[in-house]
Structure 1
Amino acid sequence: MNRKVLSLVLLFSAVACFCSCRASDSLSSEYGNDAFYFRALKHVDENDYPKAKKLLRKNIKNASPLIRRRSLELMSSIGSIDENLISLHDLYTSYPDEDSLLLYVHGLFKKGEFQLIADLTQDKDISKCLNELAYYRCAALYKRGSSNFSDEFTRWFTSRPYSKQHSKFLDDFKISPDAFPIIKFRKKVFSYDYSNSIPDIDSIASNRELLTPQLVNDIGKTYLYGSNNNSTNAQFMHDLAEDKSLPKDAVYNAYFYAARIYDKDTKYPDKACADYLKAMECAGDDASYDSALWYFLNSKLKISIQDALEAVKTYGPSIRDPNYYDDFFDTLSLRMLSRHVWFAYYQTATSIETFASKEVVAKYSYVTARLFQTGLLKVNGVKSEEAAKKFFEKALDSDTSIYYRILAAYRLGLSDEEVKKCFAVLRSDDSFVANKDEELLLNGYADFGLVEHIYAEWENHYKEIGTDCVLKIAQALYDYGTTDNSYYTKSLRVAAKKLNRSEGTPPTELWQLAYPRAFYDCVKKHCQDYGVDEYLLLGLIRAESFFDPNIQSNAGANGLTQLMEATAGDIAKKMKIQVYDLNDPDINIRFGTYYLSELIERLKGSQILSLFAYNGGIGHVRSWQKSADLNFGMDNLPNDLFLETLPFAETRQYGRYVLGYAAVYAALYYKDSPVQVAKKILE
């Protein structure tokens, strides 16, 4: 190397070092004493614990509250047992909650301080505290040979859902469940060994004093899934519920499972419905009430559409969580459309606004408008054109997902500028209050390049994180996606959660992070090769995998475009490729694009039908088309109404997702009209 080249190398190195120092100084100035924590984390990642401890000691003295807590947590994990216990004691005395107590007793357990653990946890309700904390309390009592152990142990094992923590306790301390019939029963139920659990029920149920809500729940599960003697088993659960000495939650579980077991057998619909209603009457919380009502409505729908509609009219106003019932209303919609009860559909769309979810209101409003528009629905004294317009406007205004809003905008003939205004905010969160301490911590992780710490922290506090912070951390996660592809998905989840519940008008950058173009070079190349619109493929990838190249579905579909092995094998033969890896982003996108292109060609250029076929199979789509045309008495039923009649709920939702996502991609990156794109996909 000559002197001139050497001088240039030294100059560039000096400039890089200077810039790095300036950046470091800038962060130190911005974060003050909190910067010590983030730098300590870097040293921990490098296994340089002495430097990390030195920085943490500085930080603990003057840091902001949350970062001081994180510093104590970190300090307690990088020293000797005795050093860690000092930090854990400081952590618990500074932040005396169950999370810090759990860390403290975990450290004390390693040291063998069982009496201290018992003392620290003596005021904890073992049926309600953190489950792992309950584990340590029972473990400490067991180790001490405490007279309280048996009662606490029994209460822990009977008052809560059986968990891996319970099984771990039995294994760790070599306690045989055979010595405890109730625990043996619960362990079998936890392992789905229902048929072998049935002989235990009589003896367990005979001891009413020990019959907790969880035990009644396990008995109900055992009869529901482990036996077909439905009438006898349901009557047993019903009689159990009638025992007023049981706790209220146990009575609820008994009525609930009596109804579920009656529901298995078509002979007893009235008994099932009666016990669901009794369960609703004694529900101890909103979730329990909604669970019983959901099953009640579905039970009524098994009897008839009219029974279900009457039940909705009577009990719909008592719904606690509207979103819980979306699948019921989706099934009800399918049944009404299949039976041509157009007027009932119209009445339902009119009546559910006050208690159904925004998504359901949008769906019923849009479909009702289309029934008016196509002439399938006619109501005396109502002008169809005006009614259609009114229902389209309701769908557009419903503060819900993109699909029905974009189609309503298309049917109303809105301009691109009007559409843009309608989509300025997807869902607003007027009650949002930022947690400034959490935002400071997350911003620090992003600024100091500690990206691996972002997602877990965000998951626990996402409702308290504002848009500006989300933009920073989502961008940091996305940028790290080139190193680890799984971070593309994490970035998308962070941005999408905020986009769907924003405290103001989301900026374009948030939309782009929620609708990213990860692996874009592959997408662009293969879309050009196979004549597929980029926005359509991007929408498909977002719907299929959330841009996770390593995801595998329960059905065995793999990678970004979620291809089954058999489908991929057929494609590989056609493309004369012998060796391939579906987790390779380029291969997966290539195969998926080819397959989608082939489906579009086979289905005469229809993109929406091709999407249905991609999800549900081309044979099914052709069969569904014939059935729908015959059922509706028309040739070529409009594809948006055809979607609503598809028998697979997954395929219905898939079509909605991909069309909506594709419209957003088209507007964000390609300057295309989302309304025109939706029209093109539907044709």
Structure 2
Amino acid sequence: MPASRFPSPPEAICSCAPSELKPPDAAEAQLTLARSLAADGRRTEAGPALAAAYRSPLPRIAAPASLLYARDRARRGLDPEAIKILDGVARRFPKEPEADEAAYVAARLLLDSGHEPQARARLARLAARRQGPHSSDARWSLAWLSYRRGLRDARERFAEFAASAESDELRAQGLYWQSRAGEADPEPLLRRVIELDPLGWYGLLARQRLRLAGAETAPFPRPDDPRQQTELPRRLQVAERLFGLGLFAEAGAEADRFVREQHGRYGELTLALAVYQRAERYDRAATLAESLLGYRARPNSPRELLAAAYPIAYPEQVASSSSRAGLDPYFLLAIMRRESLFRPDTRSAAGAVGLLQLLPATARRASIVLGRSIPADADMANPAVAIDLGAWYLSELVGRFGDPAIAAAAYNAGPRIAAPWAVKGAGEPLDEWVESIPYRETRRYVKAVSSAWSAYRLLAGGKAPSLVEKVPAPRPGAAF
């Protein structure tokens, strides 16, 4: 059957008419339909189904529907209405998991609209609960508000956040900002941050403040440790033979079958990493390595796992493209890792294509500027095309915004959106600017890309990258 004859998820749900179902099932179908349409970018069409689910008498339906409805109101600029709905969720459904999230989102909307006292009151109630992700978020928000207002309790609030944090990364976040909030001797705290988050954003910032970062180029490609020759299991031997015949997809599929058969046996699973990388299935290697690392990579973790988690993908093309663009090849790899996890055929819901997830319009403009033929979508699945255009575009953003971390924000949110942030934040310390990026997704993106960039350089035997201390005013440049 042609692919076009299969219904998309929203249409598949619509085919089960909610009016033909019993009330509880109909309400759940409406909620599922609303979520599916919203995820598909069809928010206007999601409205009627969301409103129907919102009116359900069942808490398990009405609570998440109310939260979605409030977010929809806020997205339309109707913050007072959204806050009223969110307060209703917290009041009507106190035992539902959405209650705390509703209280936190309401507090954030109040902050954005300039009602800080009301926001602080809601955050304080959440922080006092001591448990749950939004309790931690509330403690962080209160500490950050105090820091930005220059209040003397900021240091204690950051210390409290760090002490109650549930992960090393969050502990590092709290301790880093405690060191920035007037600590008499910040060095011990900064060194502890590096211990807790050695390959992460806060470890990078701590190295920067301790003058342990550097702008000099790290060796590329890195000299990965040679692995001892080990006799491979039969299925991996088949994968290696397929690789030797140039059958990369088939080699990767054989490695997939081998991994599924191992049921978590560490030693055997590590044997598949090199096969995946030779077959250019860097995404499989990175995913498997991160699962074996427990998602907490450290410099002293097994070398073969680190090499797979931070692979030198398409090394010849990355080297040549980054050299032409005047770009650190490890920064290019860090962007690629976040955008596509090195899958050349990746396509986003917004239409971005390829290893560096360029939108067709961006690829077209870049090609025109470079005097090249305009690539078709299929061309963007070619690593050589995607990496070359992506490297040029990234170098343009770095040139315009003056620092790779700020360029990463522009790459994620778009330069037209990021430029006003940079103009407003010009002269502000970079670490404060990143923490204050209005879009949570972009804030996380900048931290993740910068972390990976630092990890790549450290694993290559270089220093963590040196970032600008203060945000420069953006120059005229790429706005596409």
Q: TM-score, normalised by structure 1?
A: 0.51
What is residue 497 of structure 1 aligned with on the other side?
291
Give the letter for the 1:191 counterpart.
Answer: I
| 2:8 counterpart of 1:191 | no
What is residue 298 of structure 1 aligned with on the other side?
105
Q: Is the 8 A contact 1:349 1:361 kept in 2?
A: no
TM-fit CA distance, 1:592: 1.2
What is residue 593 of structure 1 aligned with on the other side?
391
Q: Is the 8 A contact 1:260 1:272 kept in 2?
A: no
- 1:326-378: CA deviation from partner (whole Å, max 9, x where unpaired): 8x569948983897375575454333343544433333432343343xxxxxx
TM-fit CA distance, 1:594: 1.3
The alpha-carbon distance between structure 1 residues 414 and 503, as it changes in their structure 2 partners (threshold 3 A), is closer
What is residue 434 of structure 2 aligned with on the other side?
643
What is residue 315 of structure 1 aligned with on the other side?
129
Q: Is the 8 A contact 2:293 2:301 kept in 1?
A: yes
User: Per residue, is there more helix in 1 or in 2?
Assistant: 1
Q: Is the 8 A contact 1:572 1:578 kept in 2?
A: yes
Give the letter for the 2:346 counterpart.
Answer: I
Q: Is the 8 A contact 2:331 2:453 kept in 1?
A: yes
| Structure 1 segment 55-66 matched on structure 2, within 5 A | none
What is residue 556 of structure 1 aligned with on the other side?
351
TM-fit CA distance, 1:489: 1.6
Q: Secondary structure at the match of 2:380?
A: coil
TM-fit CA distance, 1:474: 1.0
TM-fit CA distance, 1:497: 2.4
TM-fit CA distance, 1:273: 1.0
Identity of aligned residues (%): 20
Q: Secondary structure at the match of 2:172?
A: helix
Moved more, 443-452 or 606-615: 443-452
Unmatched 5+ residue regions in structure 2? 1-5, 36-45, 74-80, 111-117, 215-231, 240-250, 472-480
Matched positions, count: 406
- Aligned to 2:332, which of 534, 537, 554? 537
- 1:37-71: CA deviation from partner (whole Å, max 9, x where unpaired): xxxxxxxxxxxxxxxxxxxxxxxxxxxxxxxxxxx
The alpha-carbon distance between structure 1 residues 316 and 444, as it changes in their structure 2 partners (threshold 3 A), is farther
What is residue 411 of structure 1 aligned with on the other side?
209
Q: Which has the larger radius of gyration?
A: 1
What is residue 626 of structure 1 aligned with on the other side?
423
The alpha-carbon distance between structure 1 residues 453 and 646, as it changes in their structure 2 partners (threshold 3 A), is same
Distance 2:448 2:261 in 1: 27
The alpha-carbon distance between structure 1 residues 643 and 448, as it changes in their structure 2 partners (threshold 3 A), is same
Distance 1:403 1:624 in 2: 20
TM-fit CA distance, 1:587: 1.4
What is residue 217 of structure 2 aligned with on the other side?
none
| Structure 1 segment 164-313 matched on structure 2, within 5 A | 191-192=13-14, 197=18, 204-205=22-23, 217-218=28-29, 226-227=47-48, 237=56, 240-241=57-58, 252-253=60-61, 257=65, 265-266=81-82, 267-279=84-96, 289=97, 291-303=98-110, 304-313=118-127
Q: Secondary structure at the match of 2:179?
A: helix
Q: Secondary structure at the match of 2:130?
A: helix
| 2:380 counterpart of 1:582 | yes
TM-fit CA distance, 1:552: 1.3
TM-fit CA distance, 1:614: 2.3
The alpha-carbon distance between structure 1 residues 189 and 305, as it changes in their structure 2 partners (threshold 3 A), is farther
| Structure 1 segment 85-124 matched on structure 2, within 5 A | none
What is residue 667 of structure 1 aligned with on the other side?
458
Distance 1:609 1:415 in 2: 18
Give the letter for the 2:292 counterpart.
Answer: K
The alpha-carbon distance between structure 1 residues 349 and 339, as it changes in their structure 2 partners (threshold 3 A), is closer
Q: Is the 8 A contact 1:297 1:311 kept in 2?
A: no
Q: Is the 8 A contact 1:301 1:308 kept in 2?
A: no
The alpha-carbon distance between structure 1 residues 334 and 193, as it changes in their structure 2 partners (threshold 3 A), is farther
What is residue 366 of structure 1 aligned with on the other side?
176
Distance 2:338 2:10 in 1: 38
- 1:298-346: CA deviation from partner (whole Å, max 9, x where unpaired): 24444543134223323232x2xx5x988x5699489838973755754
Q: Secondary structure at the match of 1:582?
A: helix
What is residue 311 of structure 2 aligned with on the other side?
516
Distance 1:509 1:221 in 2: 42
Q: Is the 8 A contact 2:147 2:154 kept in 1?
A: no
Distance 2:318 2:238 in 1: 32
Q: Is the 8 A contact 1:359 1:400 kept in 2?
A: no
The alpha-carbon distance between structure 1 residues 277 and 392, as it changes in their structure 2 partners (threshold 3 A), is farther
Give the letter for the 1:535 counterpart.
Answer: Y
Q: Is the 8 A contact 1:273 1:300 kept in 2?
A: no
Q: Is the 8 A contact 1:276 1:295 kept in 2?
A: no
What is residue 655 of structure 1 aligned with on the other side?
446
Q: Secondary structure at the match of 1:646?
A: coil
TM-fit CA distance, 1:260: 6.1
- 1:60-100: CA deviation from partner (whole Å, max 9, x where unpaired): xxxxxxxxxxxxxxxxxxxxxxxxxxxxxxxxxxxxxxxxx
| 2:253 counterpart of 1:452 | yes
- 1:414-449: CA deviation from partner (whole Å, max 9, x where unpaired): 699xxxxxxxxxxxxxxxxxxxxxxxxx95432443
| 2:275 counterpart of 1:476 | yes
Unmatched 5+ residue regions in structure 1? 1-167, 169-186, 206-210, 242-250, 280-288, 373-383, 417-441, 482-486, 630-635
TM-fit CA distance, 1:573: 1.0
TM-fit CA distance, 1:585: 1.0
What is residue 403 of structure 2 aligned with on the other side?
606
Q: Secondary structure at the match of 1:307?
A: helix
Distance 1:393 1:550 in 2: 41
Q: TM-score, normalised by structure 2?
A: 0.70
TM-fit CA distance, 1:623: 0.8
